[in-house]
A and B are shown apart, each in its own frame.
Chain A
Amino acid sequence: MTTSLNVEALRQAFPVLNQFVYNKPLVYLDNAATTQKPYSVIKRVQQYYEHENCNIHRGVHYLSQQATEAFENSRKYIAGLINASHSHEIIFTRGTTESVNLVASSLGKLLMKQGDRVLITGMEHHSNLIPWQQICHENGTQLLVARINDVGETDLDHYKYLLEQGPKIVAITHISNALGTINPVKEMIHLAHTFNIPVLVDGAQSVAHMQVDMQDLDCDFFVFSGHKVYAPMGVGVLYGKESWLEKMPPYQFGGEMVDQVSFEKTTYNSLPFKFEAGTPNVGAVLGLETALRFVEKTGFEAIAAYENELLAYGHQQLGTIEGMRFIGQAAKKAAVISFLVGNIHPYDLGTLLDKMGIAVRTGHHCAQPLMDRFQIPGTVRASFALYNTFEEIDKLTEAVRRAVTMLS
């Protein structure tokens, strides 16, 4: 195998990986759920609380100004990394779920009225499904759902057909958390724009695995979570085009997001503060910047190339197991392998893998309609990150083989 990543050195940077579970070295293959954190991120958060902790944007004193500057520098860095036009197009949230809820609520109020609908795909995570479903229900309608084909790709003809039905908003995942499918979002965004429909892209699964460019994608909104890209939990990003964010009403109300307040009336602060009510998670934002710098320094292309090798090797090795069935075999796939073996229930397989020190996810992956599409109760999902190794895939394969023998 050839790779430009020094994986052994990278692994040393992640303290969690260096431990035993049930007396076996931990094999962590649940990265689509959350990634582990490198020392640099942990130290950054620690340093913030040891030396910099302060409420931001309001104090005249030294510490507050320092913390405010660090926080706003993180925003600038992230805006640059994803190639946003302005740093005020970056809104900090608690995560992908809150970002989607913010857009659904606020853009929903701006654009949708009785009878209006939202278009999604059949592979959405519940967090990019239920907020839109609620908006549709409030308007007396149902979601428009683009079909998924047998290998787990979005049926683009059906997507085009649904665009012609006049949805007011399109919300699509960049990468399916359950299948690994990489949607052709650039093409899908372009198609939606020919009908003048704004598009939100759920990037929860993509940011750790590829470089995203807001100008190139031309999406109207892009959302992601810190914790899936080696950053702390409880922080996420909403990118929105300035033109939309300016027009949208605030989502939450309180301190920080206001300009003038009297008991009769309040005028709202400018972007991005209009959407950042209350004290933000400053430490986590600084940790997010550190994590993204770590990914950038490691190299998006090198990471993607290495993870593709892991994916190919995983398919090849697991494919030697009798009865192996891969759920999701899209031509373009991220490093996620969802599978079933024979008639074995994923819960049984996952339980035995756990006993062998292997952390995988089992179940419906918060994508129940997608599992219904394939008429399965769920899958076992192994998802890889830059610190996983070929040896770990060998261990996974051997463990699956042992579990299958026990369960057959």
Chain B
Amino acid sequence: MTIEAIQQQIIEEFSAFDDWMDKYNLLIEMGKDTPLIDAQYKTNNHLITGCQSRVWLHAKYKDGKIYFTADSDAVITKGIVNILIRVLSGQSPEDILKADLSYIDNIGLKEHLSPTRSNGLVSMIKQIKLYAQVYKLKMDN
């Protein structure tokens, strides 16, 4: 599936709920489906520090696509980590680099991607794009 198609799917899943509590319950549930980072990678090398919650991220390159696994110590952060990874994992570096992540706004979770929130998510997106940049350079060479 394309990045846009998966984003649309996620927007629809959230649009079933009007109430913020239901939305957050869904987000918490989604966190549980996160493709978990292998224990051997859950180290400081893969840690993205936010002031409030921590995110671990691992990238693996295979057949022109990047696959991400992750974890977080906060379940709401983990839920957002998962909806980002669902969209960006298994995509080509090029598509990841040009991906527009404004779907997060559409599902009413914008505040979690605010740089002032210091939950590690903004840094995680930077890190994901950095991985894509590196693999794109490798492919180009």
Which A positions have Cβ atoms within 8 angstroms of B? 22, 345-348, 350-352, 355, 362-364, 377-378, 402, 406-407
Whether B75 is near chain A, meaning CB under 8 Å from some CB there, is yes
**Contact at B75–A348, with CB atoms within 8 Å?**
yes
Residues in chain A near residue B119, CB distance under 8 A: 347
**Contact at A363–B51, with CB atoms within 8 Å?**
yes
Which residue of chain A lies nearest to B23 when distances are taken between CB atoms in the complex? Answer: A355
**Contact at B51–A345, with CB atoms within 8 Å?**
no
Interface residue from B25, B53, B73 paired with A406 (Cβ < 8 Å):
B25
**Contact at A378–B52, with CB atoms within 8 Å?**
yes
**Contact at A364–B51, with CB atoms within 8 Å?**
yes
Interface residue from B20, B73, B76, B118 paired with A377 (Cβ < 8 Å):
B73
Distance (whole angstroms) from the CB of A116 to the closest CB of chain B: 32
A sample of 20 cross-chain residue pairs with beta-carbon separation below 8 angstroms, ordered by A number, consists of A345-B53, A345-B74, A346-B52, A347-B52, A347-B76, A347-B119, A348-B74, A348-B76, A351-B76, A351-B112, A352-B24, A362-B52, A363-B51, A377-B73, A378-B52, A402-B21, A406-B21, A406-B24, A406-B28, A407-B75
Residues of B within 8 A of A (CB-CB), count: 17
**Contact at A347–B25, with CB atoms within 8 Å?**
no
Which B positions have Cβ atoms within 8 angstroms of A? 20-21, 24-25, 28, 51-54, 73-77, 112, 118-119
Query: Which of B53, B54, B112 gathers most chain A CB within 10 Å?
Result: B53
Which residue of chain A lies nearest to B51 when distances are taken between CB atoms in the complex? Answer: A363
5 nearest CB pairs, A to B: A345-B74, A347-B74, A347-B53, A347-B52, A348-B76
Please report the C-alpha to C-alpha distance between residue A22 and residue B20 in the assembled complex, in whole angstroms.
Answer: 10
Residues in chain A near residue B112, CB distance under 8 A: 351
Distance (whole angstroms) from the CB of A152 to the closest CB of chain B: 21
Which residue of chain A lies nearest to B31 when distances are taken between CB atoms in the complex? Answer: A348
Please report the C-alpha to C-alpha distance between residue A407 and residue B31 in the assembled complex, in whole angstroms.
Answer: 11
Residues in chain A near residue B25, CB distance under 8 A: 406
Residues in chain A near residue B76, CB distance under 8 A: 347-348, 351-352
Please report the C-alpha to C-alpha distance between residue A350 and residue B24 in the assembled complex, in whole angstroms.
Answer: 13
Please report the C-alpha to C-alpha distance between residue A22 and residue B119 in the assembled complex, in whole angstroms.
Answer: 21
